Amino acid sequence: AQKITQTQPGMFVQEKEAVTLDCTYDTSDPSYGLFWYKQPSSGEMIFLIYQGSYDQQNATEGRYSLNFQKARKSANLVISASQLGDSAMYFCAMRGYNFNKFYFGSGTKLNVKP
């Protein structure tokens, strides 16, 4: 069975500092994709970053990077130089080999303090 676990319901970070949001997953699929989405209070899901299970390098997109440790089945999101606008819910998601559905974690609410 596929499962995504986000163990941090809420996080605080000081503006301009870096923060790591944890995500672990469980799957028996031979290949899979890992995604992070941001959901501001407005409700829309915004794609941040993608990591394929066979990608050799960790994904980066601007201030976002994904710390992918395949053996540990973790895919943590690192946000560098936090901004006030980063305050939102963050969801980790996985798409399995049979890529018809996404599995989402329960989310982490990030608050950036000025």
Partner 1 sequence: GAGVSQTPSNKVTEKGKYVELRCDPISGHTALYWYRQSLGQGPEFLIYFQGTGAADDSGLPNDRFFAVRPEGSVSTLKIQRTERGDSAVYLCASSFGLRDDEQFFGPGTRLTVL
Q: Does 64 bind partner 1 (CB under 8 A)?
A: no
Tabulate helix, strand, coil % of the chain (nearest 5). 5, 50, 45
- Smallest separation, CB 91 to partner 1 (Å): 5
Position among 4, 21, 34, 112 found at the interface with partner 1 (CB under 8 A): 4
Q: Which residues have C-beta within 8 Å of that of residue 88, sequence separation ≥ 6?
A: 38, 39, 40, 41, 109, 110
Residue 107 sits in the site that holds partner 1 (CB under 8 A): yes
84: which residues sit within 8 A by CB, 6+ positions away?
A: 15, 112, 114
**Distances 5 to 9, 24, 85, 109 between C-alpha atoms, Å:** 11, 5, 25, 14
Single out the residue of 29, 50, 63, 74 in contact with partner 1 (rule: CB under 8 A): 50
Among 7, 18, 99, 111, binds partner 1 (CB under 8 A): 99
Give min distance, CB of 3 to partner 1, in A: 12
Tokens of 10: 């809420």
Candidates 28, 30, 56, 101; binder of partner 1 (CB under 8 A) is 101
Residues of this chain that interact with partner 1 (CB under 8 A) are 4, 33, 35, 37, 42-47, 50, 52, 91, 93, 99-107
